[in-house]
Amino acid sequence: MTDSKYFTTTKKGEIFELKAELNSDKKEKKKEAVKKVIASMTVGKDVSALFPDVVNCMQTDNLELKKLVYLYLMNYAKSQPDMAIMAVNTFVKDCEDANPLIRALAVRTMGCIRVDKITEYLCEPLRKCLKDEDPYVRKTAAVCVAKLHDINSQLVEDQGFLDALRDLLSDSNPMVVANAVAAISEILDTSPTAQQVLEMNSVTINKLLTALNECTEWGQVFILDSISNYTPKDDKEAQSISERVTPRLAHANAAVVLSAIKVVMKYMEMLEPNSEYVTMLVKKLAPPLVTLLSAEPEIQYVALRNINLIVQKRSDILKNEMKVFFVKYNDPIYVKLEKLDIMIRLTNQSNIAQVLAELKEYATEVDVDFVRKSVRAIGRCAIKVEQAAERCVSTLLDLIQTKVNYVVQEAIVVIKDIFRKYPNKYESIIATLCENLDTLDEPEARASMIWIIGEYAERIDNADELLESFLEGFQDENAQVQLQLLTAIVKLFLKRPTNTQELVQQVLSLSTQDSDNPDLRDRGYIYWRLLSTDPAAAKEVVLAAKPLISEETDLIEPTLLDELICHISSLASVYHRPPNNFVEGRSSLRRSLPPRSASGNNVGDAVPEEVLQMQNSGQSSAPQATVIPGADSLIGDLLDMDLGGPSSYQQNQMFQTPSAQPVQTTAGIDLLGEGLDSLLGGGSTAGDALGGLGDIFSGGQSSSYVPPQEVFLPANKGKGLEISGTFARRNGQVFMELTFTNKAMQAMGDLGIQFNKNSFGLAPAAPINIPSPLPPNGSASTSLPLSTTGAVQKMEPLLALQAAIKNNIGVFYFSCTVPLHVLFTEDGEMDKKEFLSTWKEIPSQNEEQYTITNVQHSADSVSQKLRNSNIFTIAKRNVEGQDMLYQSLKLTNGIKVLAELKIQPGNNNFVLSLKCRALDIYAGVQLAYDTILHN
């Protein structure tokens, strides 16, 4: 008979009977009783009253009984902490048992009992088990360290368990290494302070790679994930690690394959993009990804979501594998839709015919959602591949002729987008669209049709009748349709004013007087005022040339994409959201791809969250069509940005109201009216007078260190415009040193630059001043002065600066990192009393120490070098042969940082201690010291 019999009893007075059986002298009867207790506990009965009796059963050699008692203890120890102490001696004794299974069981159970009183007794047995001769015990103890860290992190760090865990990475048994890596990953996710002890280095990584070949598949996943979090010293190390990881691409387990792909994708960023090795890696990545698509549907979906990210980052990996993404008849809908999305991303001129034939076939399927997405995909193909636009339009017309309602409506929506991409090219099909007017019942389709009628009203003879038919049920229409109808009728009136005056008055009255929708009312009043004040001005506004829509409107924003690439093979890559969006209590540390060692951006090209007024360089040029993102893009707000500047007529005639005065540039105001320290929890922002110590360092000010230029915007992302730059500080002001290179075949002009909100309120203080236009293959450099009074918003990472650059071709985005030392002000020198009192006021837990290695300077030359970059030495002492420099600095937002630099003669490693109220800036200050002292 099986153990299920223990779950069928419903006797009354059972607790009393169980108590008697637990105290029986017969071992078998005792074991039966414990099984009954566990069964009762499992179905939700309260058997905590039996705690002392069950604990007495621990003194046994029977492994099965011991496991059952330990299971009971784990469940009830929290509610009976005082009773749980009774079991401690048995735990300690079991940790020294001759049987390794019992030793491991004891330490595992102690780790699972989340009671503070027991935790104190766990330390010594755990320390012994970490050095146990049996690998099974060691690997169990490694996981126990992570559990103990979750209960009491301070205890783990104080008792030196982190060092013991790090030592296990060198263990001879690969499973011990894998469990140690898993425990370290868990600890690092929850404790930033453990980073220094558990930091990976090239020696550790080498040990992990050695263990990789011998441990189980889940051990391999942990090791590969840990390797992916390591940043190699240079491209040679990145290549070496990639070579040792690539054999995992052929593994049978999908998790191992995806983890290996994550490592390779990250390390490829450090390698020269056109090198033979990168080309070979790209070829190696395709087959494992294709193989994943032959697994069961759930794994296929996870693989497809990851492939979606990989294709956006490196479309060349799967450019020849289009056929594997063709939909099968028996694919679940979630797999079909994901395959469709990837097909569009891989579409190009060479495979468009094949893709179109597939999409046309899909549009005749029975699944409505899939058909809609297929029709929309045909429109996306037309926008993406210009040479195939005509074939796409022809395919859409064929689908409209099927008269299937939802197909027709979806086709009209995408044809509207095609008209926006290719104006005055396919208007001959409007008549066909108008024939299907009566069948439209979905808001998006009706709004699209109304837009088409309004935009091409002069070519449609009965445009007024068509729009009037929509107006009859105006109050019942969706808000999207109402807004579009209002605009379309105003366009019609401006094009044919003689016989549409009554129609426009009717729609304006309905919009302003009879509507509760504030958006509709406001638009109605704006049109009414424009038309009544100056119809000519209204014509220039409403009938202005439309900007072309962009090719891809659903791409993931580049910095988010880089972060998601770092999370391949995790839930984040399936949700396409960073972990801290959906995991409570997740550390806010964001992962990013490593910088390329030779060329490329250090931070990645990021799209600003908000674009304010663009600062133009002042040169005027003829208005040109500007390719900008579509309405559903993350950067769709750019539609409202004035790219070409208003005409003088528009300025003089149209916008006379005070509310429409030119917007101030961000360089002149602080939108939040406060410094960054309010965001960081910092202290006072009051100005600080110079200390006036008059020591030997208060001589003439030398220029601060200027880092070498790096590429901010590569030519392939700027449509031929390459921007290199760096930051400098001169005469109390921050400058952005920029070099513009035109690698396109046409001249470039009309340059303007705008920054997103950033941590230190940096904003351009003047327009870009370079000769315009910039001829092909031409190059020009400029120093752009920056103010620190712009809009403030804390960034991740703190020193990231996101910028939008505009020229006559388009708007482009890049992200760079501002070196913190250019934000150190000239008035950061404190007097000795102020330094001493401030040091005492800042809590001791705010103090952090760093080691700066291999510095070839004496104390005096260090002081001078740092003073050149506005780090001031307040006092110098000699303690037991060590030179101690006490220093202060101040940031542009008023945050003050105090430092102590220990210099020992004959030792090139300096110890830097920092104290400040804003802890977030420590990493930037430490890097500034390191950079200045090594250059």
Angle between helices 479-495 and 535-542 (to 10 degrees): 120
Percent of the chain scoring above 90 in pLDDT: 18
The whole-number pLDDT of residue 623 equals: 35
Same domain, 751 and 775: yes
Q: How far apart are CA 313 and CA 208, in angstroms?
A: 28
- What are the tens digits of pLDDT across the range 867-905? 988 999 988 888 777 888 899 999 998 899 999 988 888
Element (H, E) at 900: strand 896-903
Same domain, 451 and 485: yes
Angle between helices 389-400 and 405-421 (to 10 degrees): 150
The whole-number pLDDT of residue 485 equals: 92
Helix/strand/coil for 22 = helix
CA distances from 241 to 207, 389, 568 (A): 12, 45, 18
Percent of the chain scoring above 70 in pLDDT: 84
- What are the tens digits of pLDDT across the range 498-527? 888 888 888 998 898 888 889 999 999 999
- Among 535, 542, 451, which Cα is nearest to 488's? 451
The whole-number pLDDT of residue 12 equals: 46
- What are the tens digits of pLDDT across the range 35-91? 888 787 877 787 777 777 777 777 777 777 777 877 877 777 777 776 677 677 777
Q: What is the pTM of this model?
A: 0.59
Q: How far apart are CA 855 and CA 840, in angstroms?
A: 29
Going by pLDDT thresholds of 50, 70 and 90, the confidence category of residue 9 is low
The whole-number pLDDT of residue 682 equals: 37
Two tokens, residue 227:
């390797």
Q: How far apart are CA 330 and CA 297, in angstroms?
A: 10
Q: How far apart are CA 786 and CA 736, in angstroms?
A: 7
The strand pairing partners of 282, in sequence order, are: none
Would residue 715 be called left, alpha or beta, if left means φ above 0 and alpha means ψ between -120 and 50 degrees? alpha
Mean pLDDT, the chain, whole residue set = 79
Q: Out of 90-99, 386-395, 416-425, 679-688, which region has the weakest mean confidence (pLDDT)? A: 679-688
DSSP 403-416: --HHHHHHHHHHHH
Whether pLDDT at 301 is above 90: yes
Tell me the CATH number at 758: 2.60.40.1150
End-to-end CA distance of the chain: 79
DSSP 534-595: -HHHHHHHHTSPPPPBPS-SSPPPHHHHHHHHTTTTSHHHHHTS-GGGTSTT---PPP-PPP
User: What's the whole-number mean pLDDT along residues 283-312?
Assistant: 91
CA distances from 932 to 353, 777, 820, 821, 856 (A): 58, 35, 11, 9, 12
Element (H, E) at 806: strand 800-806
Same domain, 804 and 888: no
Going by pLDDT thresholds of 50, 70 and 90, the confidence category of residue 776 is confident
Q: How far apart are CA 574 and CA 568, in angstroms?
A: 8
Q: How far apart are CA 676 and CA 758, in angstroms?
A: 9
**Domain-located, residue 67:** no
Sole residue written with tokens 């496991």: 67
Half-sphere exposure of 172 (CA within 13 A, CB side): 5
Contact 808, 744 (CB under 8 A): no
Q: How far apart are CA 110 and CA 89, in angstroms?
A: 11
**Domain-located, residue 7:** no
Contact 717, 605 (CB under 8 A): yes
Phi, psi dihedral angles at 732 (to 5 degrees): 80, 10
DSSP 432-446: HHHTTGGG--SHHHH
Q: How far apart are CA 869 and CA 822, in angstroms?
A: 8
Using DSSP bridges, classify how beta strands 848-852 and 910-915 pair: parallel, antiparallel or unpaired: antiparallel
**Domain-located, residue 268:** no
Tell me the CATH number at 908: 3.30.310.10
**Domain-located, residue 705:** no
Whether pLDDT at 258 is above 90: yes
Whether pLDDT at 260 is above 90: yes
Going by pLDDT thresholds of 50, 70 and 90, the confidence category of residue 737 is very high
The whole-number pLDDT of residue 649 equals: 38
The more confident residue out of 382 and 55 is 382
Same domain, 808 and 846: no
Same domain, 813 and 829: no
Half-sphere exposure of 554 (CA within 13 A, CB side): 12
Angle CA(866)–CA(872)–CA(876) in degrees, nearest 5? 95
Q: Of the ranges 257-266, 377-386, 857-866, which is most confident?
A: 257-266
Contact 212, 248 (CB under 8 A): yes
DSSP 51-110: HHHHHHTTS-S-HHHHHHHHHHHHHHTTT-HHHHGGGHHHHHHHTT-SSHHHHHHHHHHH
User: What's the whole-number mean pLDDT along residues 399-417?
Assistant: 88
Please say which residue of 518, 549, 580 terminates a domain.
549
Same domain, 801 and 731: yes
Would residue 585 be called left, alpha or beta, if left means φ above 0 and alpha means ψ between -120 and 50 degrees? left
Q: How far apart are CA 592 and CA 607, in angstroms?
A: 15
**Domain-located, residue 769:** yes
Count of structural domains within the chain: 3
Two tokens, residue 248:
């995992």
User: What's the whole-number mean pLDDT along residues 908-928?
Assistant: 89
The whole-number pLDDT of residue 632 equals: 38
Going by pLDDT thresholds of 50, 70 and 90, the confidence category of residue 786 is very high
The whole-number pLDDT of residue 499 equals: 83
The whole-number pLDDT of residue 694 equals: 34
- Among 255, 253, 205, 248, which Cα is nearest to 229's? 205
CA distances from 860 to 32, 108, 241, 851, 884 (A): 80, 56, 42, 19, 11
Q: What residues have CB less than 8 Å from 98, skipping those under 6 apart? A: none
Two tokens, residue 723:
């921007």
Two tokens, residue 360:
């046309």
CA distances from 279 to 259, 273, 282, 290, 317 (A): 20, 8, 5, 18, 9
The more confident residue out of 562 and 597 is 562
- Give the single-character DSSP code of 891: B
Q: How far apart are CA 182 and CA 224, in angstroms?
A: 11
Sole residue written with tokens 């030519």: 715
Q: Maximum CA pair distance of the chain?
A: 108
User: What's the whole-number mean pLDDT along residues 206-216?
Assistant: 85
- What are the tens digits of pLDDT across the range 617-629? 333 333 333 333 3
- What are the tens digits of pLDDT across the range 533-561? 888 888 888 888 877 776 665 678 888 88
The whole-number pLDDT of residue 64 equals: 78
Using DSSP bridges, classify how beta strands 733-742 and 615-616 pair: parallel, antiparallel or unpaired: unpaired
Please say which residue of 549, 577, 605 terminates a domain.
549
Same domain, 458 and 509: yes
User: What's the whole-number mean pLDDT along residues 578-589?
Assistant: 70
Would residue 576 be called left, alpha or beta, if left means φ above 0 and alpha means ψ between -120 and 50 degrees? left
Sole residue written with tokens 């050149």: 868
The whole-number pLDDT of residue 823 equals: 92
**Domain-located, residue 684:** no
- Among 918, 684, 667, 676, which Cα is nearest to 792's? 676
Please say which residue of 507, 528, 549 terminates a domain.
549
Same domain, 782 and 855: no
User: What's the whole-number mean pLDDT along residues 151-175?
Assistant: 84
Contact 6, 39 (CB under 8 A): yes
CA quadruple 380, 383, 386, 389: dihedral sign: positive
Whether pLDDT at 725 is above 90: yes
- Among 815, 310, 312, which Cα is nearest to 556's? 312
Same domain, 849 and 770: no
Q: Which domain holds residue 753?
A: 710-818
DSSP 684-735: ------------TT-SSPPPPP-PPPEEEE-TTTTTTEEEEEEEEEETTEEE
- Give Cα 276 to chain centroid, integer Å: 30
Q: Beginning with the edge strand found earlier in the chain, give each strand of the sheet holding 733-742 in spatial order.
A: 710-713, 721-730, 733-742, 779-787, 763-764
Same domain, 854 and 814: no
Same domain, 813 and 831: no
The more confident residue out of 566 and 685 is 566
Two tokens, residue 566:
């770092």
Going by pLDDT thresholds of 50, 70 and 90, the confidence category of residue 3 is low
Q: What residues have CB less than 8 Å from 437, skipping those under 6 apart? A: 449, 466, 469
User: What's the whole-number mean pLDDT along residues 658-669?
Assistant: 35
Going by pLDDT thresholds of 50, 70 and 90, the confidence category of residue 167 is confident
Same domain, 800 and 902: no
**Domain-located, residue 835:** yes
**Domain-located, residue 162:** no
Q: How far apart are CA 815 and CA 233, in angstroms?
A: 23
- Give Cα 188 to chain centroid, integer Å: 19
- Give Cα 702 to chain centroid, integer Å: 40
- Give Cα 290 to chain centroid, integer Å: 26
Contact 510, 483 (CB under 8 A): no
Phi, psi dihedral angles at 911 (to 5 degrees): -105, 125
